[in-house]
Amino acid sequence: MTYLRHAHIMSGPLTAALVAALIVLPLLAGNYLTYLTIQILILSLFALGFNLLFGYTGLLSFGQAGFYAVGAYICAKILLVQPSLLLGVLGGTVAAAVVAVLLGALSVRHTRIYFSMLTLAFGMMIYSVAWKWRDVTGGDDGLVGIPRAPLKILGIASISLSTIEHYYYFVLVVVLLGVFFMYRLVNSPFGLSLQAIRDGETRAPFVGMSVTTHRLLAFTIAGLYAGLAGALLPPLENTVTPVMAHWTTSADPILATLLGGIYVFSGPIVGGALFIIIKDLIVRVTVHWSIVLGTVVIILVMGFRGGVAGIVAGMVARPRAAPAPAVASK
Amino acid sequence: MRTWISSATVMLILLALIVPPASVGQTACQLNVPTLKLGVQGIASGAHADYGRQINMGATLAIEEINAAGGILGCKLEMRFMDDENKPATGVKNARFLVNEWGAHFLYGTDSSGIAMALGPVLQELKRIQFFTHAATHRLTEELVYDKKIKEIVRVSAPVYQDAIAAWVFKDNPEIKRWATIGADYEYGYATWAIFKDVMKKSRPDAEFVGAAWAPFLTLDFSSQIAAVMATNPDAIIATPWAGEAVTLLRQALLMGVFDKVQAWFQAMGGSVDVLEGISREVQDNRFKGKLWATARYIHNWPNTQINRSFVERFQKRWSRLPNYSAETTYSAIYITKLALEKAKSLDTDSVLAALNGMRIPTPAGLRVYRSEDHQFVYNVPAGRVVWDAKYPIPVLGDLVVIPANEYWRSPPFTAVPVGK
């Protein structure tokens, strides 16, 4: 547990330096790097939510892409009718949370492979709905021409986000807030309870914890984060397609988290950056990127057990760090 | 804290890794750029990867030829090909990379209509012309160019209109009256069926459209779709699954005895090299009983012109394969760029578009004429019966029916196509 708690992500000069670097990035970098950083920020948010379930609660979900797609589709539908970015993003996020509550109620009583298979099935059900309900979702063609609507604040101000730089700052603010709330959450009594449930499912009820309620809350928050991440995508890409809900999309936050580190708060963020940058570098070199990316991921996952951030953290803080949650909880 | 220090360090290093190096060097190129950069993308992974490969091969051949002849206005061409994975998000990301990071002056390719529709508004943001060389949806040029005035879209390949040639091929066959479709379960399939019915009704008011079954992308088992349309007792079937799916569909139709019952089967993109390669043995054995007809966006054995024969010969010599339509359309798109730049003498989008106005350019597929209202190049592509010809290593289209494209292609002003199941 020391591992999870000692990562003070929101404090320190280096945190400030990184945030400052992210703030000035569009001024120094080109449009593409700005665009790529938006993708990293979105995947980081998606993976952070996923890791609340996986790393902190011990539940491996293969269906997070379903909530990601719900957030994206609802946001897109709202933006196509009412061009207000805040409304679209909020609508997508809330819708994903509602779907997560409903599906979570059916899933969280199960654990291990049963939970994973249930979430996979629910995720693919959402994928099927996205594919088949053509009148609403556009079917296989998806929804196109989604505007990057202005940011309207209570009818007082309207900020144009038509340029990639402006949209970057909107995403950056949302993601930083998301990271901050997640950090507070995992270090709150609720977050510590989740870790207690993860490490001692049988013991937790004896101290008065409702395992099901805690898991359902974690599932809903993870779904909400997935929905928020998904809702940030349509204004960036102008399009939403069913592949967003496919299980292969669910693999993205899993890979990002494994690459970065499950037991380090910033692991999913580092992993998200690694995943997108490695892929981006590989596709520049070869069209056979999937073989090379697969090889790199295998090497990283096998060579850096505990994730890149986890290994580096372990090297830096070796005397104080507990190597594994099972040992730490004893 | 140390965890975060290490994490932040890793991320800063990663950010530094992807900062592009400064470009160096100048040339005497009349367009005042070191090289003319052409960004190309298509499907290069998965079941439809051959189309992206053909786009790559066509582009590479054109660039090698043009560079060997001195380039365009003294500028050497440089190409970067990327896999769009048949995903709109990847297509958009590639376009952003190619323009913003690599510095592409023009974009080419794109197989999928979904990707094309996603790319349209982004091209406006990127301020770059893309020459589309496969994506067939009518909405690309009708909705995005004609209605929304996205000027950066130009299509060199034949759109979904081409498949309506089936109506002309069979209009003088009174015994073929009842039509059904096994359609791709996305816009391409719906649009083909809608436009085909529209054209057919004009030439054959007695035609009946008796059944439709839809196959999702990457369908492996078409038996339910085949059974569903055969239950409506059609005289003929028009089918729109393409690439490997078309091969699978045709083989399963043979197994289910469809060619004993129908009088004709029109495979919309069946004239594509990969489909013809896939059904080679069945055609040699005459298992389709001469009832299989097809078209494409270009077929290598037509027109019988010097420019086409020479193109096919050079393509085969370079790649040891026959050119698919996506190869020809991309090859021609680069020559269209050459002609436009030589006239415009500028990379400015408006100047290049002005140079395209009124363009009539001989290409391997025949004479292409630019239609400025919707930025669509119009040219004729025949339909034909799939036959075995000993001159070729794969089946070809024979008994060719050549109809002027203007007879059955939609033209401005456009009215909405009632697309749906």
- The tens digit of pLDDT for each residue in A63-107 reads 999 999 999 999 999 999 988 899 999 999 999 999 999 998 888
What band does A9 get if pLDDT is binned at 50, 70 and 90? very low
pLDDT at A321 over 80: no
Per-residue model confidence (pLDDT) at position A258: 87
Q: Distance, in angstroms, between A145 CA and closest chain B CA?
A: 7
pLDDT at B27 over 90: no
Per-residue model confidence (pLDDT) at position A311: 75
Per-residue model confidence (pLDDT) at position A5: 46
pLDDT at B11 over 70: no
DSSP of A223-277, one letter per residue?
A: HHHHHHHHHHSHHHHSEE-GGGGSHHHHHHHHHHHHHH-TTSTTHHHHHHHHHHH
- The tens digit of pLDDT for each residue in B179-191 reads 999 999 888 899 9
Say what the ipTM of the complex is: 0.76
Segment (H or E) for B36:
strand B36-42
**Does a structural domain hold residue A162?**
yes
Which of B1, B7, B186 is best to mutate for the A interface (most A CBs within 10 A)? B7
Per-residue model confidence (pLDDT) at position B43: 93
CB B59 within 8 A of CB B108: yes
Count: domains in chain A: 1
Share of residues in chain A with pLDDT > 90 (%): 34
**What is d(CA A106, CA A116) in angstroms, rounded to the nearest whole number?**
12
**Does a structural domain hold residue A255?**
no
| Highest averaged pLDDT of the listed ranges A76-90, B46-60, B108-122, B262-276 | B262-276
**Does a structural domain hold residue A307?**
no
pTM of the model: 0.84
pLDDT at A196 over 50: yes
Per-residue model confidence (pLDDT) at position A10: 44
pLDDT at B8 over 70: no
* pLDDT, mean over chain A: 85
Per-residue model confidence (pLDDT) at position A194: 86
Per-residue model confidence (pLDDT) at position A29: 83
- The tens digit of pLDDT for each residue in A26-40 reads 888 888 899 999 999
Q: Longest Cα pair distance anywhere in chain A, in angstroms? A: 59
C-beta atoms of A270 and B97 within 8 A: no
Per-residue model confidence (pLDDT) at position A325: 52
pLDDT at A310 over 80: no
B83 touching chain A per CB within 8 A = yes
Which domains, ranges and CATH numbers included, belong to chain B? 27-158+305-378 (3.40.50.2300), 161-296+382-408 (3.40.50.2300)
**Does a structural domain hold residue A106?**
yes
In chain B, which residues have their Cβ closer than 8 Å to the Cβ of A264?
3, 7
Per-residue model confidence (pLDDT) at position A8: 47
Edge to edge, the sheet with strand B77-83 lists: B77-83, B36-42, B106-109, B129-132, B153-155, B376-378, B366-371, B360-363
C-beta atoms of B19 and A33 within 8 A: yes
Domain, as residue range, for A89 = 2-244
What mean pLDDT do residues A272-288 have? 85
In degrees and rounded to multiples of 5, residue A156 shows phi and psi of -90, -50
Structure tokens at B308: 């086409």
Based on its alpha-carbon atoms, the radius of gyration of chain B, rounded to whole angstroms, reads 22
**Does a structural domain hold residue A275?**
no
Residue ranges of A 106-165 with Cβ closer than 8 A to chain B: 131, 134, 139-142, 144-145, 164
What mean pLDDT do residues A14-25 have? 87
C-beta atoms of B125 and A241 within 8 A: no
CB atoms within 10 A of CB A330: 7
**Does a structural domain hold residue A260?**
no
pLDDT at B16 over 70: no
CB B386 within 8 A of CB B293: yes
**Does a structural domain hold residue A265?**
no
What band does A288 get if pLDDT is binned at 50, 70 and 90? confident
**Does a structural domain hold residue A180?**
yes
B289 touching chain A per CB within 8 A = no
